[in-house]
Amino acid sequence: MKSYLAAAVQMTSLPDLEKNLVEAETLIELAVRQGAQLITLPENFSFLGKEEDKVAQAQAIALQSEKFLKTMAQRFQVTLLGGGFPVPVDNTKVYNTALLIDPNGVELMRYQKVHLFDVNVPDGNTYQESSTVMAGDQLPSVCYSETLGNLGLSVCYDVRFPELYRHLADKGADILFVPAAFTAYTGKDHWQVLLQARAIENTCYVIAPAQTGRHYAMRKTHGHAMIVDPWGVILADAGDKPGVAIAEINPTRLEQVRRQMPSLEHRVFI
């Protein structure tokens, strides 16, 4: 593994599959022009709309999202993460699925979101992800890459459950993906600190592509797609507008932090 540039894409996805894929392609190309070899798209990158509309269109969204990811990865010769899109289970439920694709358009890893966002947010919004999403029942695996480092997957609400990331660290992860559509209300208080905590406690890079702005009706997201280093330093922050956060993933920095703070080796209760 040598140093390389990674990108966390920030989008304002809408209830419009075609428009979202056009925006995603534009931002992927922007990241490629800046030299990124690993590009990550947020949760709901291809569709962010009402739950019933998501389920009704799930078959088309799933097919076009997967085709899009494979085409983009091949066209631009990058490794590409689609941070979350619906894949039908039946006529009433979908899996919230993240998909990692290599530069040849080959699937490297797939993860079905385990922790579902069923929360009454204090701003008056109620979210019931489990009404349309089937929870995955498998811990995410690690994709071992000689060129990019060892990559561990998660999705959005997972970030509040540190045991998932400790599992990934135990499996040798160097980089943790946290693609998200974090609510505007919770994001202002919790997003950055949770990303930094997951990076620090596991001495890993965290790459967190994000949704931002207003998507439909009352649905607003926080933005601030980020890349955080293993010491918890924020290397890039996309702010609150669509765009790209780009930073260097440096194996020397990873080794330095793990040598200086070998906390994973000091664990007592395992």
Catalytic residues: 43, 113, 156
Place of tokens 């919230």: 96
- Distance CA(74)–CA(68), nearest Å, equals 10
Using CA atoms, how far apart are residues 256 and 49, in angstroms rounded to an integer? 43
Contacts for 259 with CB less than 8 Å, ≥ 6 apart: none
3-state SS of the chain: helix, strand, coil percent to 5?
35, 30, 35
- Under 8 Å between Cβ of 66 and 31: no
Q: What type of residue is 250?
A: N
> Counting every residue, how long is the chain?
270
Distances (CA, A) of 46 to 43, 97, 154, 219: 8, 12, 18, 16
Beta strands across the sheet bearing 205-208: 142-143, 151-152, 175-177, 205-208, 226-228, 234-237
CA 60 to chain centre: 21
H helix and E strand count, the chain: 6, 16
